[in-house]
Amino acid sequence: MPAPRLEQALSYVKDRKQFGKPIADFQATQFRLADMATELDAARLLVHRAAASLDAKSPEATQHAAMAKRFATDVGFQVVDEALQLHGGYGYLKDFPVERLLRDLRVHRILEGTNEIMRVIIARKLLAD
Ligand SMILES: Cc1cc2nc3c(=O)[nH]c(=O)nc-3n(C[C@H](O)[C@H](O)[C@H](O)COP(=O)(O)OP(=O)(O)OC[C@H]3O[C@@H](n4cnc5c(N)ncnc54)[C@H](O)[C@@H]3O)c2cc1C
């Protein structure tokens, strides 16, 4: 499985120059990108585990799906918010697609069962065991 790419943010930080160099050269930018990639990878792994559990008709499939939905939708929103921040003011404008991604991702923390309800499902199983 290829690592998450963060294409638009990576492209922007290599292109945008401040203080005489690309903002990609600042370690603060690099650390932010590293965390974004790591969190996306973790989210993707949880989603794949949930899918595998469903395929296997595992008794833990509901738990795994609730964990994956809660985590992936929270992380997806947080990562795109970080990407918008890396774009500076341009991230907030329609010149770049990141503001649209932020708006589109926000609803997934609500749709198909809110993330609070995912926590209800996870906690119910934890306390029943
Ligand atoms: C763009 C969009 C498209 C949609 N499409 C569909 C669709 O195609 N089909 C469909 O069936 N529905 C659809 N919905 C509805 C969606 O599934 C619901 O909005 C979602 O399930 C949350 O329900 P609610 O809005 O009634 O929120 P509520 O249940 O009123 O929740 C409000 C808040 O209270 C919290 N809350 C509620 N109960 C608890 C609890 N027990 N413990 C802790 N916190 C709690 C929630 O987490 C949330 O933060 C859509 C919604 C949107 C925004």
**What does the DSSP assignment read for the chain?**
-PPP--HHHHHHHHH-EETTEEGGGSHHHHHHHHHHHHHHHHHHHHHHHHHHHHHTT-TTHHHHHHHHHHHHHHHHHHHHHHHHHHTTHHHHSTTSTHHHHHHHHHGGGTTTS-HHHHHHHHHHHHHH-
Confidence (pTM): 0.91
Residue 12 lies in a domain: no
Give the residues of the chain that fall short of pLDDT 50: 1-3
CATH code for the domain in which residue 84 is found: 1.20.140.10
Q: How far is the CA of 28 from the centre of ligand 1 (A)?
A: 37
Q: Is residue 121 part of a domain?
A: yes
Question: Is the CB of 120 inside a 6 Å radius of any atom of ligand 1?
Answer: yes
Ligand 1 atom at shortest distance from the alpha carbon of 115? 47
Q: What is the residue range of 39's domain? A: 24-128
In a domain, 19, yes or no: no
Model pLDDT for residues 112-121, shown as the tens digit of each residue: 999 999 999 9
Q: What is the pLDDT of residue 3?
A: 47
Please tell me the total count of domains within the chain.
1
pLDDT at 126: 95
In a domain, 109, yes or no: yes
Is 122 within the bounds of a domain?
yes
